[in-house]
Each structure stands twice: as C-alpha cells, then as structure tokens.
Structure 1
Amino acid sequence: MRHLISTSVAVALIFALCAGCGSPPASSTPARLIAAQSVAPLLPVAAMTAASPDEYEVELGADPDFLRAQLASGSADVAVLPTEAAAALYNGGLDIVMLGALDLSLLHVVGPANSSLDGLSEIAVAFPGDTADHVSQAVFEAQGLSIEFSYETTMPDVLAGLASGASNAAVLPEHFASLAVAQSSGSLAVIADLRDEWEAATKTAATPQIAIVASTEYFDSHRDTVDSISSLLEDSFGDDQIDGGTLAELAALADVDRDLASAATARLDAVYLSDAEARDATSAYLAALIDLNSDIAGGRLPDDGFYAS
C-alpha cells in the first residue's frame, strides 16, 4: 500500500524548530490559501493549518471555477487544485508555480455492489471538463469501453442521483465516493479505483491529480515560506496513519464527520511528490491526458517555468 499522511504534526513541528524545516516561519500577513471543500484537496491544507494555524487565511470553494477565478484575480497566494487545471491556467498566461503534487487514488467508480466497469452503459459525472471527466474518459477509451456520460452541476446532485436510482453509477472523488457507499446500506460499492485503471491503461507509474501551486509573485517574495511548505508536506506524508490533530482539522475543513474523513483518507492513499519526481510524474500524467484529449491543459505540456525546481 502506498504511503498515507504520517506522524504527529506536533512532532514534525518540533523537528522543524530544531532542524530548520517544517512549518513556515511566522509572517505578519497570513498567506491566502484556497482549495475546494473536499477531503482530497484539503489533505495538504489540513497539514499546513494544523501545524501553523495563524499563518494561513483559508477560503474554500464549491467548484473549480471558484479556484480559477481566485487565482486569476490575484486573490490567492497558494492554491490546491486539479493538476491539469493548474497546467491550463499556466499555459493560459497565469503566473503560478507548482510547488508539488499529490499522487493519490482520488477518483473511484461507485456502482451496484458486485458489478464491474465492463457492465456499465451509463455513468454520472460532476463538472464536465475537470479531473473526473478527463481521467475516466481516458480510462474507458483506453479499455475500449463504450459508456455514456451524463453530467450534473454539483456533487450533491450526483449523490442524489445514485441514492434515488436515477443514476446507476458515478465517478466520484473522495470523500464523496466513501459517503455514497456509506449511505447506500450495502447496495453500492466502489467497483473501480481509477488510479489503478489509469496507470494500467497509460503505463504510467503515478497519478498526480492534485497540484499545490503558488502565485509567482508570492513564490518569488516568500521563498523561505514556500520551501518550508514543501518540507512540511513531505514530512506529513509518510508511513503512518494521519495523526489525530490533522484528522480533526481535515474533518472540520471538509465539514464531514471524523469517521468519514478517516475512511476517505485511507482510500486516497496519498503520496506527496516534489522536485524532479513531481516534474517527471506530472509531465507523464499530462502527456497521457493530452494524447487522448488535445483540449486538456491548453493542449501542451507546461514549460520549465511551471515547476518550482
């Protein structure tokens, strides 16, 4: 099993104070940090705010358009968003730098218990054109599956369709996949992990679906802070279960109960990638997507300026 979020952030913070890495140094102005209100993008946010609660001003959005608008307007210093969305914004002229990426099992297909992908004829997806849509279409096309997509405008609409039977199956990110299964009284199950399916279909070794980016202005003027953010995230994603303080922070930020946050985190099985590892994995991930859909990420790989190192 791949690494999960690790050890006590308190221990990491003590180590940071002694060894010079870990939580960001104190600043008179908190960094403006934005993310979607879902467990997966909030994993790094929870680690950061649990370690240094006064260093970040967090704003959460309900959909990807919010994140794009905040970055484009200069209203955010650091953001957590889908990797291809970050690449598209950069290729479109937005001055951002990717600090690192999360390689994780973000997307799952939820359908009738004991069913399989090759038995599906239709599937529901939220937010056309975003990660769930891109990755699932790439996987299904690579596997030669003919599955019709239906789109909803919100994640609650997708969940409601599954609960009512209006939708037979759906592509859901965590924590929504775990929530749908938990609420189904055994009638629904995760029938495919799209990380496994993606890596098998594209012959890639990682699925870095979530990017942590900073505005170029913030990156250039706060190098100590952004370097220590990456150090903290590297320390926070290790061999052990997420610690109690960070799990509590994650549940509060995502507005879910602790048991659901814990289940979703275990299923996500996240690894933080930085430096050359992040660059190589992200380039391979985006190249595979672009090969299947030339509209993704603006149709080209980001140049070297997209990466912190």
Structure 2
Amino acid sequence: MKRKKLILILIVALILSVFTAGCGQRDLIEDEKTVTMGLLAGPTGMGAAKLMDEGLDLGENAKLEFKIYTAPDQISADIINGSLDIAAMPTNLAAVLYNRTEGGVLMGAVNTLGTLYILSGEETQIDSISDLLGKTIYSSGQGATPEYILRYILDNNGLNPDEDVNIRFYQEHAEAATQFSQDKGNVVVLPEPFVTSTLMNMDGVKTVLDLTVEWEKATQGKSLPMGCISIRKEFALEYPEALSYILEKYEESIDYVNQNPVQAAALIVEQGILPQEKIAENAIGGSNIVYIKATEARESLEAYYKILFEFNPGSVGGALPDDEFYYSE
C-alpha cells in the first residue's frame, strides 16, 4: 500500500513539473526575429563570452546572434542602420549616437570601467601622478577619450599637460608601447589587454598607476565609465520583455567571466574576442568588467560626459544627453 502511494505521489509530481515547465516557456518574441548583439573585440566585449557560448532561447522563431567588431565606427554604422539591436561600445560613442539619431540609441548599462594604466621601467620610481613631472608620456588616443582622461588627471594633480610633461601621441597602442620600450626611464599609457601583453612580452616593465583610481580621486569618488551596452530604442519599445531577459543573462555572463577567469579566457578566445588565452585570463582582472544599470550609473556618466564636453563637445555628440538617454526597465 505504501509503495503504491509513493508511486502515485511521484507520478503526480512529474505531471505537475512538466505542466509548470510548459507554462513557463512562453515565447518572449512571438514573431520571426533575429536579435543581433554587436561586441567590440577587447574588454568591452569580454563579458559576453559565456552568453555567446550558451546562447539564448527567445522563442520558437526568434534567436539571438552575435557579431564581433574591431572598430567602434563599424558598430556605429550598424546600429544606426538597424542591423544591430544591442551593442557594446565606448560610453562616449553611445552619447554621440544618441544625439546623431535624435534619441534613437539609448544607454542600457555600463559594462566596463576604466582600463587605462601607466607603465614604467622597473628602475623608474613612480608612486603618484606628481612623480610624472618632467617625464615623457607615450600614449595613443590623441583627440579622443584617452587624451582627455589623461589631461584631466594631470591638471587635477597640479601638472600642466602642455608644460610639465611631454605627451607624445601615436596612432596605435602597439606603436606607443614600442617607443616606450626604447625609453623605459619614461612612461606609457596603455589600456587592457595591451597592458597584459606588454608585461608578458617586454622585460623590465611594471604597472605604476591605475588611471581609474586616479580618476576617482580627481572626481571625488565618481567611477570612470568607459564601456557600455547601448540599445536601439525601437527594439527596446517593441520587445521590452526580451530585452530585460537578454540583459539579465548578460549580467550573469559578466559575473561568470569575473569569477572564472581561466574558463572564461578559453571562451573569450573561442568567440574571437581576444586571440590568446593567457592574455585574456590575465587581462580580465584589470579590465574592470561590470554590469551597472544606466539609471544606477547615471551620476558617474553625467560627470564623465560633462568633463569630455568641456574638452571637446564633439566627443559626446555636441550636447550632453538628457533624461531620455538612460534606459529604465
């Protein structure tokens, strides 16, 4: 008798579990739709590696696809023309596109904080920004955010960027690193993963300053929001539930990458985000990969945009983003 009751209970439990699972599988997108997410190779795209590996079920006729880009201008073109629904990009580019499309591109979340570091030779003593007085600083990013960030930090530490240091700009990060390799008594500004690559491949070099930390000091505790997830407004309005689910799973992917750097590094290489596992593994920690909703990151974003605007209004699209820019679920 007891055995029969146990079997009956198990059968009922199985039926209920199947019924509950079936009820929970409502299509988030009912029509035929390919949602496309664009990612930049490098830290801005690294957090999506787990999501790319696992994929996402949005509905019987809907799917999520990913596209890797090597340059921000490529992403810009595709989100403007509607080829992309969601895109990882520099935060200032999101502001530029918001203005260019008259509100057609929104800020979804910050996904990367500062990735810039200052490296020196092992024999060079640099403990603070003030120690850069009289130094040559090799860097890339002239007329872009790396220059504005560097200048702002120098100025807020009492150094005139045009008189107290000698900033030499180069087109590529690798070129700046090469010049520095011949002059290790001075310093170089590099982002991840070039910091990791340089430390692994160049003898007698060390990281001396984290510009994210220096930015926070200069801005009274504001974070340095350099990378983000942007959303095409049309997509956000038409498929809010699907978007919420994608962002939720993307946040989980970021958590996985940060907590499992070895396994994540393999996925990052497999998905074409970075070329070498060891570089990916060692770069994860310094890449400051995060997930901060737009509404929660707004204060730091606004401070960042204001500073960029003062250097060059064009760096944020000619105007500071208004309230509608910050997507809220």
TM-score in same-fold range (> 0.5): yes
The residue aligned with 1:303 is: 322
Quickly say closer, same or farther: Cα 1:243–1:188, change in 2 above 3 A. Answer: closer
Normalization by structure 1: what TM-score? Answer: 0.80
Match of 1:83? 91
Structure 1 segment 144-163 matched on structure 2, within 5 A: 144-145=158-159, 146=161, 147-163=165-181
Contact kept in structure 1, 2:68 and 2:273, CA below 8 Å: no
- Given the two structures, how large is their TM-score scaled by the length of structure 2? 0.76
Structure 2 matches for 1:120-135, cutoff 5 A? Answer: 121-135=135-149
**Distance in 2 between residues matched to 1:44 and 1:225, nearest whole Å:** 19
Structure 2 residue ranges without an equivalent (≥5): 1-20, 57-62
Cα 1:110–1:64 change in 2 (3 A) is farther
2:221 match: secondary structure: coil
Q: 1:26 to 1:124 in 2, by over 3 A?
A: farther
- 1:141 correspondence with 2:133: no
Aligned length: 287
Identity among equivalent pairs (%):
23
Contact 2:47–2:254 (8 Å) recurs in 1: no
Q: Deviations over 1:268-304 (max 9, x none)?
A: 2432101421223322332344345544313542112
In structure 2, the residue matched to 1:34 is: 38
Greater Cα offset, 222-231 or 205-214? 222-231
Aligned ranges for residues 159-170 of structure 1 at < 5 Å?
159-165=177-183, 168-170=186-188
Moved more, 203-212 or 71-80: 71-80
- Structure 1 residues 110 and 211 mapped into 2: Cα distance closer, same or farther (>3 Å)? same
Structure 1: gaps of 5 or more residues: 1-16
Larger Rg: 2
RCO higher in 1 or 2 (8 Å CA, sep ≥ 6)?
1
1:116-160 CA deviation, whole Å, 9 max, x = no partner?
242353223323233322211211121122333322222332333
Provide the residue aligned with 1:262 in structure 2. Answer: 281
1:201 matched residue in structure 2: 218
Q: How does 1:47-62 map to 2 (within 5 A)?
A: 47-52=50-55, 55-61=64-70
What letter corresponds to residue 52 of structure 1 in structure 2? Answer: G
Q: Secondary structure of 1:57's match?
A: strand
Q: Secondary structure at the match of 2:150?
A: helix
- Name the aligned partner's letter for residue 273 of structure 2: A
- CA positional deviation for 1:100: 0.4
